[in-house]
A = this chain, B = another copy of it.
Amino acid sequence: MTNIQQVAKQAGVSVATVSRVLNGQNTVSSKTRIKVEEAIKNLNYEPSMLGRNLRNSESRILLILIPSISNPFYLEIIKGIEQIALSQNYNILLCETDSNPEKENIYFDLVRKKMADGIISMDPAVNIETLKELAEKYSIIQCSEYNLDSGIPYVTIDNEEASYRAVKHLIQIGHKKIALMNSDEKFLYARQREMGYQRALEEHEIPLNDDYIIYTKHLGFEHGQQAVKKILAIQDRPTAIFAVSDLLAIGALKEINASGLHVPKDIAVIGFDKIDFSNMTNPTLTTIAQPMYKMGTVAAEMLIDKIRGNDVDNVILNYELVLREST
């Protein structure tokens, strides 16, 4: 491996000058610059990030914490993060926590050990106490899921409002018996979306029916299947389902089909996120579109800003109701 010393020797200059050329400083005469560039070419020299990073005391790596790589919702966000990261010469380390605190802690160690310059956390189940502690020393942003009192900057959408909008749509097309397929109430977004659901019902004077609210442990396809079985078994069966995640809704769709019922004739279904697959189902899924790519770019910009030592503000992005075949 050739290093900066050898380039300097070959070019007949000092390592400082080579470094200056490498970093595009304009304090180098064009004659010397050319000499150096030739030497670099001759020797096939590639500067080592290891040396540079130690010297600059940075890793130029951003940590992305997601609960599961299998949920396409996160993939679109990641693409947004990546676009900004690459343009600013950062690389991203994608870490799947499985909502497991131990795994999470291994990844937190990466920033403690200077292997990463900052974290974008998207795990709703993240240990918020640890995260807060970490946020005192390191740069951290929360994306999608967040905590109001943590002081950690976040980017998200207005979950209560989006949920209200979804349920209101169901009411407007004539439904009164509307089930809510929620995730776990320990997550802020779950509580917010439930509040939106309640507000829409109350506003239209539809009484709340606790039997119509089903909770699932995870946001997987199979959990949607299981949950919808319970809903179908209710005596006064709902005519519509609002699922707080497309994956749940897609699972519901499949199970409803299997049970011989028809969507949307017998039961209407609306999802949340607008993942790619929501357009591939039969029928296609009506859903609340989250601006995932945008959330990613904003989160990345916020994080890089924070790493540079600037203060950053929270951001609330807009959602959209996407009408398709399932309602």
Interface residues of A (CB under 8 A from B): 1, 46-51, 53-54, 57, 59, 61, 69-70, 72, 75, 78-79, 82, 86, 91-94, 96, 106, 109-110, 112-115, 221, 250-251, 253-254, 257-258, 276-277, 280-282
**A112: chain B residues within 8 A (beta carbon):** 46
Residue from B46, B69, B75 within 8 A of A113 (CB atoms): B46
User: Closest chain B residue to A225 by CB distance?
Assistant: B280
Q: Are A114 and B280 in contact (CB under 8 A)?
A: no
**A110: chain B residues within 8 A (beta carbon):** 49, 91
Q: Are A221 and B280 in contact (CB under 8 A)?
A: yes
Chain multiplicity (copies): 2
Interchain residue pairs A-B with the least CB separation, the first 9: A46-B112, A49-B115, A50-B54, A48-B114, A54-B54, A49-B113, A94-B94, A257-B282, A50-B114
Q: A48-B113, A257-B282, A281-B282 are in contact. List 15 more A-B contacts (CB 8 A).
A: A46-B109, A47-B113, A50-B57, A50-B59, A61-B93, A69-B78, A69-B79, A70-B75, A79-B96, A93-B93, A221-B277, A250-B280, A251-B280, A254-B281, A254-B282
Q: Are A114 and B70 in contact (CB under 8 A)?
A: no
A69 vs B106: C-alpha distance when bound (angstroms): 24
